[in-house]
């Protein structure tokens, strides 16, 4: 990875007029991402090459390959237990794999020479459960890793954190504690916290599936804005409305394999595999 700043992608368009903004204070205009390093021409931001992984005798991932270029938004879907979480965790080395290779911005994830803390600091991850520190204020949650990992001075970290908090529409909550916020608000803080590290890619693992239904929209709005800002995103979700709105591609997994890797239009228009067709017909029924 290089540390020289390069211009980020151009903002394609503002949030569509039809998109809902969070009810409490609304999304503010402006970019959610800092100009990012990396993304050399022709080098995928995430390259997953023939990845195989076993838990003991059980093969959880089989010959998984795909590549995600800078600014691309890829939605990963598939039945429960198909290996989606495992695959996404392999990308920032939260899970080891036994065969194949993954590179992030050209850096090999499973190479002993790779500085994993440094790599992970550039790969933002948002899980189903927000995992904010309950005993720290929102501001402290937003600044801790910036200070400890990136060694940012306190004032700079606070400015960046509060700026991102404003962008996700939560300025009024800076001095509160996570327990005083709704699930949707906490998840927006978790996204702001990940963005404060100036990640070059963002990974999401079912970020809305633990939320009450009325809070799903406000989190998806932030993710839509992030996608439109040009962030490279790999998103495990069953929110097909989100996929239709911003995904460039959809990956469908089943039993540890990438069964389909198609453009959004192809995936929704004519999924090739029977398994994907069955899956889609089930989740689109509702």
Closer to Mg ion at the Cβ: 231 or 253? 253
In angstroms, give the least distance from the CB of 85 to ligand ADP.
3
In angstroms, give the least distance from the CB of 246 to ligand ADP.
21
Given 82, 85, 103, 146, the residue binding Mg ion (CB under 5 A): 85
In angstroms, give the least distance from the CB of 123 to ligand ADP.
18
DSSP annotation string for the chain? ---S----PPP--PPPTTSPPPSSS-PPSS-SS-------TT--SEEEEEEEEEETTEEEEEEEEEEE-TT-EEEEE-STTSSHHHHHHHHTTSS--SEEEEEETTEETT-TTS-HHHHHHHEEEE-SS----TTS-HHHHHHHHHHHTS---HHHHHHHHHHHHHHTT-GGGTTS-GGGS-HHHHHHHHHHHHHTT--SEEEEESTTTTS-HHHHHHHHHHHHHHHHTT-EEEEE---HHHHHHH-SEEEEEETTEEEEEEEHHHHHH---SHHHHHHHHHHHT-
Among Mg ion, ligand ADP, none, the one that 86 touches (CB under a kind-dependent 5 to 8 A) is: ligand ADP
Task: Check binding of 237 to Mg ion (CB under 5 A).
Answer: no
- What is the footprint of ligand ADP within residues 26-55 (CB under 6 A)? 55
Of 18-26, 34-42, 81-89, 241-249, the segment contacting ligand ADP by CB under 6 A is 81-89
Of 44-52, 79-87, 135-143, 248-256, the segment contacting Mg ion by CB under 5 A is 79-87
Closer to ligand ADP at the Cβ: 39 or 78? 78
Which among 9, 15, 75, 38 has a CA at the least distance from the CA of 199?
Answer: 38
Closer to Mg ion at the Cβ: 85 or 232? 85
In angstroms, give the least distance from the CB of 80 to Mg ion.
7
In angstroms, give the least distance from the CB of 253 to ligand ADP.
6
In angstroms, give the least distance from the CB of 279 to ligand ADP.
12
C-alpha to C-alpha distance for 75 and 235, rounded to whole angstroms: 5
- Give the residues across from 235 on adjacent strands: 75, 204
The torsion angle over the Cα atoms of residues 86, 168, 189 and 127, rounded to 10 degrees, is -10
Of 29-37, 85-93, 212-220, 267-275, the segment contacting Mg ion by CB under 5 A is 85-93
In angstroms, give the least distance from the CB of 84 to ligand ADP.
4
Given 5, 30, 35, 81, the residue binding ligand ADP (CB under 6 A): 81
Closer to ligand ADP at the Cβ: 178 or 204? 204
Given 13, 80, 112, 286, the residue binding ligand ADP (CB under 6 A): 80
Which residues would be at the binding site for Mg ion (CB under 5 A)?
Answer: 85
Which residues would be at the binding site for ligand ADP (CB under 6 A)?
Answer: 55, 60, 78, 80-86
């Amino acid at each position: 990875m290089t540390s020289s700043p390069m211009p980020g992608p151009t903002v394609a368009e503002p949030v569509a007029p039809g998109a809902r903004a969070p009810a409490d204070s609304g999304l503010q205009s402006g970019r959610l991402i800092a100009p990012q390093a990396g993304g050399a021409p022709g080098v995928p931001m995430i390259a997953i090459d023939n990845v195989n992984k076993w838990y003991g005798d059980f093969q959880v991932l089989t010959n998984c390959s795909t590549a995600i270029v800078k600014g691309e938004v890829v939605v990963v879907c598939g039945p429960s237990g198909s290996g989606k979480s495992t695959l996404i965790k392999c990308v920032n080395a939260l899970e080891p794999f036994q065969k194949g290779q993954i590179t992030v911005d050209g850096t090999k994830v499973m190479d002993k020479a790779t500085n994993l803390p440094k790599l992970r600091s550039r790969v933002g991850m948002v899980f189903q459960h927000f995992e904010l520190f309950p005993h720290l204020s929102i501001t402290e949650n937003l600044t801790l890793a910036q200070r400890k990992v990136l060694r940012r001075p306190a004032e700079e970290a606070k400015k960046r954190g509060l700026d991102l908090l404003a962008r996700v529409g939560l300025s009024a909550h800076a001095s509160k504690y996570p327990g005083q916020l709704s699930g949707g608000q906490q998840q927006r803080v978790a996204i702001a916290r990940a963005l404060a590290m100036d990640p070059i890619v963002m990974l999401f693992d079912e970020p809305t599936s633990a939320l009450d239904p009325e809070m799903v929209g406000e989190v998806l709005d932030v993710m839509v804005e992030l996608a439109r800002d040009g962030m490279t995103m790999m998103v495990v979700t069953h929110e097909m409305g989100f996929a239709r709105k911003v995904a460039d591609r959809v990956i469908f997994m089943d039993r540890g394999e990438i069964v389909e890797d198609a453009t959004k239009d192809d995936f929704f228009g004519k999924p090739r595999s029977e398994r994907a067709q069955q899956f889609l017909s089930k989740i689109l029924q509702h």
